[in-house]
Amino acid sequence: MPAPIAVFDLDGTLVDTAPDLLATLNVVLTEAGFEAMPPEKTYGAIGHGSKVMIERALEFQDVMLEPEEIRRMHEHFLHYYAYNISEHSRPFEGVIALLDQLADDDVLLAVCTNKLEGLSVQLLEALGMADRFAAIVGADTLDVRKPHPGHLLGTIERAGGDEDRAIMVGDSRTDIDTAKAAGVPVIAVDFGYTEIPVTELGPDHVISHYDALYDLAVPLLGLSPD
């Protein structure tokens, strides 16, 4: 029988990946002859993928490049990031304890991210977290990606979860819009990389620390309270 399932975004939700992503972006920019970007100007692009991060940084500097030049910068980004993926990236406070609580209640865990699948698996393996998840579904795993609802529903299906007893946990408009389109309750963290405060985006709940998530998840997942 399908089991209850909690699906998590990765960057800015499960793991604070900004230090390594932004460091990689600035290496790529400066080696291509452009200026490094301050973190506050690029945080909001993180959840949209590394190519968008590059494009946003170039737009901020009023730089227009041919698609082939952006492609080469993107390849450089992916290569450099793969070798520096977990230098400073760490799970957010309370994540591991929360995952343990859910697993103890036989809740399936999954990741649905717009990060490439290979990089997502590599990062979670480096942090000792990959084995916790029944499915790790990246931007290139399926034919669609967030905010298409099929990305989330496909993740639930791959993990063997019950879409009627599912939650999505994310940090951005993309995650919230995806969950709403899929008909899945969504809990937003307010410490991620969104450009717009999640309180303004209409999630079902907002949390500021993972110690608040379990009590919200119990009724949404149809669990029996302790």
Which one from 9, 11, 16, 177 is the annotated catalytic residue?
Answer: 9
For residue 212, is pLDDT > 90? yes
Q: State pLDDT tens for residues 132-159.
A: 999 999 999 999 999 999 999 999 999 9
Q: State pLDDT tens for residues 26-53.
A: 999 999 999 999 888 887 788 777 898 9
Token duo for residue 50 = 């590394």
Concerning whether 171 is annotated as a catalytic residue, the answer is no
pLDDT for 195: 84
In the numeric block, the tokens 């907002």 are attached to 206
**Furthest-apart CA pair in the chain: how many Å?**
58
Average pLDDT, the chain: 95
Q: 66-102 in b/e burial notation, b at 16+ Cβ within 10 A? A: eeeeeeebbebbbebbeeebeeebebbeebbebbebb
pLDDT band of residue 226 (cuts 50, 70, 90) is low
CA-CA distances (angstroms) from residue 80 to 5, 22, 35, 110, 177? 34, 12, 18, 26, 31
Model-level pTM?
A: 0.94
For residue 184, is pLDDT > 70? yes
The residue extents of the domains of the chain are: 3-16+90-220, 18-83
CATH topology of domain 3-16+90-220: Rossmann fold (3.40.50)
Q: State pLDDT tens for residues 73-122.
A: 999 999 999 999 999 999 999 999 999 999 999 999 999 999 999 999 99
